Amino acid sequence: MEERIYHGLGLHMHQPPGNLKLLIETNEWEARQIILCYERPLKYVRAFPDVARVNVGFSGVLLDQLQDEEIQKRYASIIDIPRMLEGYAREENIELIGMGYYHPIFPLIPKEDWEAQLKRGREEMRKVFGREPMGFWPPEMAFCMDLIPALKKSGYEYVVIDGVHVRSKRPSTREETLYQPHIAEYEGFEIIVIPRDRDLSNAQESGLNPEWFANEVRSKTAGCKKPSLVTTWSDGENGGWFRQTHEPSGFWGHYFAPYMERLTLGEIFVSPTKISNFIEKNPPCSKVSIQAGAWNIGTSGGYDFSQWAGSDSQKRAVEDIWELSRYYHELEERLKQREREGIHLSGVETVLGSAHEHLLKSETSCYLFWGDAWIPRMYEVTNRARELLGEVDRTLS
């Protein structure tokens, strides 16, 4: 009998540039806690192959670190990272979700940089896992309608949006909007929208049990069209709930495994699903619009981008990124013009490419999220980018 209520359980995985190396050098216990979080989805899905379905997103910069031979050697006493990555590539019950390579807040960075972040993110997924993702998880769930054409051009079919920002274009209850996929259109491009339940996602992040979850889902979807899709999404490696090394006390042992056991016994009616499978069987037709915003995190409710651009220092940092981007793209165009004129300057393209890499790296959301504590790290990256661009500028002048 087909289940009437489906659960799209999602986990977001990300580490800022160089953080896995820094952790293993300075805080081995925290490094152990975090690296084990990346292995557990694979371990627990394999333990319940008939019922377990999980959706997992990796940032490109995290995947890059996990492929680093030095990182793999330093963490080898904890887990076999290459074997883990190979396991994800082969595991059919885990849907892999994409995001921007350096985990940028897309609405806060120049549109000129969106394509590179999206393209690099997809290329990294293909390189590591042998396939490209259908779905997109916006870093920090920061989204605006302008992003839709860029996502579609990059090859994405659906995007996960915090449900508080989804607005139906026809009369409907909040629950009807929240527990179905929809279509959002912008400038002639359409993408499927998967709303995230914020309340249940908060519980997923901090602590819950299968019975409570099943009761909540039953109550929330009571008046909704069936089949319904309840989508929860949280970080998969942050907080003691996920990092708990005594697994019976954490997310996987206290909640997920009992959830799967009860599902196997027919005691719970909510069926986990890969999001793409649900969409395939239940293609959306209702239209929605998306209010720009992010998810609730830190001190922010996510109704704007104040967690990343609310303070004066954060605003100045964002302005610095925009100025750097303008400088890069101006020099890029000047170099192309020289080439059109038949003038080829040895080595300039390599230096410009290095500057571009630093520009994209500076757009990592973590530099802004942690405010004054991390913004200096961003300036280290942008300052180096400017040095390289200055070298290019002098050569082109």
In sequence order, what are the beta bridge partners of 270?
5
DSSP track, 115-155: HHHHHHHHHHHHHHHSS--SEE--GGG-B-TTHHHHHHHHT
Residues 138 and 233 in one domain: yes
If you average pLDDT over every residue of the chain, what do you get? 96
Examine the fold and report which residue of 284, 306, 328 is the final residue of a domain before the chain moves on. 306
Cβ atoms within 10 A of the Cβ of 248, count?
10
- Banded pLDDT at 225 (limits 50, 70, 90): confident
The pLDDT of residue 1: 38
Task: Note the pLDDT tens digit of each residue in 274-289.
Answer: 999 999 999 998 999 9
Candidates 14, 86, 20; CA nearest to 56 is: 14
Residue 205 token pair: 């992040």
The pLDDT of residue 173: 87
Residue 222 token pair: 């009571």
Q: Is the pLDDT of residue 299 over 80?
A: no
Residues 299 and 344 in one domain: no
Cβ atoms within 10 A of the Cβ of 394, count?
8
This prediction's pTM: 0.95
Q: Produce one character per residue of 9-27: b if its CB has 16 or more CB atoms within 10 Å, e if not.
A: bbbbbbbbbebbbebbeee
Cα(358)–Cα(383) distance, integer angstroms? 9
- Banded pLDDT at 226 (limits 50, 70, 90): confident
Q: CB-based contacts of 371: which residues, under 8 Å, 6+ apart?
A: 311, 313, 314
Residues 284 and 147 in one domain: yes
Q: Is the pLDDT of residue 329 over 70?
A: yes
Name the helix (H) or strand (E) containing 342: none
Cα(181)–Cα(195) distance, integer angstroms? 7
Candidates 192, 177, 280; CA nearest to 230 is: 177
Residue 147 token pair: 């992003």
- The boundaries of the domain holding residue 145 are 5-306
Residues 357 and 235 in one domain: no
Average pLDDT over residues 327-332: 98
Residues 224 and 326 in one domain: no
Task: Note the pLDDT tens digit of each residue in 142-158.
Answer: 999 999 999 999 999 99
Cα(371)–Cα(383) distance, integer angstroms? 18
Residues 350 and 301 in one domain: no
Cα(99)–Cα(123) distance, integer angstroms? 11
- Total domains present in the chain: 2
* CATH code at position 61: 3.20.110.20
Residues 208 and 315 in one domain: no
Candidates 49, 54, 58; CA nearest to 277 is: 54
Examine the fold and report which residue of 243, 278, 306 is the final residue of a domain before the chain moves on. 306
The pLDDT of residue 318: 98
Residues 318 and 297 in one domain: no
Average pLDDT over residues 352-360: 98
Residues 172 and 129 in one domain: yes
